[in-house]
Amino acid sequence: MVTRTQDRASNHSNNSSNNSHNGGSSGDHRGAFSWGENAGPLLGAALAGAAIGFAANYGRKALMQGMEAMTGQWDEILAAEHDMALAIFDKMLATDHSQTFKRKMLLMKLTHALDKHAHQEEMVVYPALRKANEAADADHLEGEHGYIKTFIYELNGMGADSPDWLDAVSEFRALVHEHAHMEEEQVFPHFKQGLSEEQNAKVTSLVNRDGFWMA
């Protein structure tokens, strides 16, 4: 079975924007909170560094949020994330045992993508499903998330050059594909139909908010 947009190219760019600015902190303040002769300049530099880090991170998150907000309703956001994860799997499956660095990088990227995605579903969509008397589906899907994490655990414990690596990734992909298919074709459409436009908008807003914190 092939999901609708499974073959969509993944052009997820790591857009770590550098639109932060230096606060231009000077270290010459000596007041009641001075921690010693040379603490001022050091503290100033540390605070400036923290500000740059915060601004860069905030800029990245704002960008991610903006991108997600443009992608549509909650079910479309989650379906696009399924496609993105499946595209990472395909890149993993195209590697050979000598490409250990690439395998490790792709596994990290996949772990982050699935972690963020699971957070959105487990904190918003599955609780909403339970409240709508669809607890059996929510519990089944959340149980599968546990097995998805188990694959990540297994791959982290396995050398990236292991002869079993590709088989494990292939099995892992099949589970995610089947799980995504059940969500996209069965559970989500049924649930969405039963919600008012306003309720759907609320779920979309919550999914965006939780995705923002995990970006």
Residues that bind Fe ion in the complex, under the rule CB under 5 A: 121, 183
Nearer to Fe ion, 125 or 155 (CB): 125
Query: How far is it, in rounded angstroms, from Cα 162 to Cα 155?
Result: 10
- Which residue, 124 or 155, is less far from Fe ion as judged by CB? 124
In degrees and rounded to multiples of 5, residue 30 shows phi and psi of -125, 105
Nearest distance in Å: CB 117, Fe ion: 6
Using the minimum distance from each CB to Fe ion, give the nearer residue, 121 or 210: 121
A 10 A CB-CB count for 171 gives 12
CB of 47 to Fe ion, least distance (A): 40
Give the nearer residue to Fe ion in terms of CB position, either 107 or 148: 148
Pseudo-torsion of CA 5, 7, 10, 11, nearest 10°?
-90
Q: Which is nearer to Fe ion, 82 or 103 (CB)?
A: 82
In angstroms, give the least distance from the CB of 183 to Fe ion: 5
Q: Which of 197, 186, 206 is nearest to 141 (CA)?
A: 186
Start-to-end Cα distance in the chain:
30
Q: Tell me the helices (H) and strands (E) count for the chain, helix number first.
A: 8, 0
Q: How far is Cα 204 from Cα 206, in angstroms, rounded to an integer? A: 5
Dist CA 215 CA 212 (whole Å): 5
Nearest to 156 by CA among 114, 103, 94: 103
Q: Name the minimum Å distance from CB 196 to Fe ion.
A: 23
Beta carbon of residue 52, minimum distance to Fe ion (angstroms, whole number): 35
Find the shortest distance in angstroms from Cβ 51 to Fe ion.
36
Q: Residue 83 or residue 121: which is nearer to Fe ion going by CB?
A: 121
